[in-house]
């Protein structure tokens, strides 16, 4: 069975991590427990994750909100029916228009079945999703963490996560990825939940408003 977290065990995992790591305990003591950020394992969630690539959460949500105002529930067929102009009006960059369409196409052509995919291993899911233009490790990590609630991801491609780790652990600015991963080793098999604690600390410290 895949290692996952859920509403029943999420807080328990947070406390277990806090017992192992004083810095994570300090996050809970200072900011309380993090929300359990989850999304349904559907096309619409993947489109939102594509919109979130390399932009602020606020920019991504503005585009997603505009898209939903235009077409309602986001489906592959609806995305493929929109012109470039219509997608640009929803704040999609030229690249993200290409990525959203590539994803929609593989689902419409039945090359990808998200329901079937959700019972695969993390590595199988990564291999399959990364074949789609515009989907890299960060997008796969976010989907595995938030949509499939897989418990042991640590996405070093995420700037907020890295910044938060450096801040709470007081690491030097140029620490290597290997060194950061070795710190995260201590949090296995629940690195996803540790990531959520780190994001929670970052969001609280920066006063960022988060939707969804």
* Residues 141 and 91 reside in one and the same domain: yes
What six digits make up the tokens of 191? 């690195």
Residue by residue, pLDDT tens for the chain (212 residues) are: 568 999 999 999 999 999 999 999 999 999 999 999 999 999 999 999 999 999 888 899 999 999 999 999 999 999 999 999 999 999 999 999 999 999 999 999 999 999 999 999 999 999 999 999 999 999 999 999 999 999 999 999 999 999 999 999 999 999 999 999 999 999 999 999 999 999 999 999 988 876 54
In a domain, 211, yes or no: no
Instruction: Report d(CA 78, CA 72) in Å as an integer.
Output: 9
Residue 4 pairs with which residues in a beta bridge? Answer: 150
- Among candidate residues 123, 147, 171, the one where a domain is terminated: 147
Residue 183 structural domain: 10-36+153-206
In a domain, 5, yes or no: no
pTM over 0.95: no
* Residues 193 and 105 reside in one and the same domain: no
In a domain, 3, yes or no: no
Tokens 């996560």, residue?
A: 161
* Residues 98 and 138 reside in one and the same domain: yes
204 by Cβ neighbours in 10 Å (0-12 / 13-18 / 19+) ranks as: middle
In a domain, 1, yes or no: no
- Among candidate residues 121, 147, 173, the one where a domain is terminated: 147
CATH number, domain at 85? Answer: 1.10.340.30
Count of structural domains within the chain? 2
* Residues 70 and 119 reside in one and the same domain: yes
DSSP assignments along 198-210, one per residue: HHHHHHHHHT---
* Residues 140 and 47 reside in one and the same domain: yes
Nearest to 192 by CA among 156, 164, 153: 153
CATH number, domain at 166? Answer: 1.10.1670.40
- Among candidate residues 147, 181, 198, the one where a domain is terminated: 147
69 by Cβ neighbours in 10 Å (0-12 / 13-18 / 19+) ranks as: exposed
């Amino acid at each position: 069975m895949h290692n996952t977290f859920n509403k029943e065990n999420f807080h328990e995992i947070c406390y277990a991590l806090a017992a192992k790591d004083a810095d994570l305990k300090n996050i809970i003591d200072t900011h309380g427990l993090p929300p359990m950020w989850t999304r349904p394992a559907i096309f619409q969630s993947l489109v939102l994750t594509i919109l979130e690539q390399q932009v602020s959460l606020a920019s991504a949500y503005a585009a997603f909100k505009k898209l939903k105002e235009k077409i309602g529930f986001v489906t592959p067929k609806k995305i493929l029916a929109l012109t470039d102009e219509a997608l640009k009006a929803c704040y999609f960059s030229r690249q993200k228009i290409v990525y959203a369409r590539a994803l929609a196409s593989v689902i419409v052509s039945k090359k990808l079945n998200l329901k079937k995919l959700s019972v695969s291993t993390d590595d199988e899911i990564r291999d399959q999703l990364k074949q789609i233009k515009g989907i890299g490790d960060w997008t796969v990590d976010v989907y595995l963490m938030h949509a499939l609630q897989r418990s042991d991801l640590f996405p070093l491609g995420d700037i907020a996560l890295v910044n938060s780790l450096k801040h709470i652990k007081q690491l030097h600015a140029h620490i290597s990825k290997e060194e950061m991963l070795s710190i995260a080793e201590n949090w296995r098999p629940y690195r996803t939940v540790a990531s959520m604690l780190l994001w929670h600390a970052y969001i609280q410290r920066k006063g960022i408003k988060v939707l969804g």
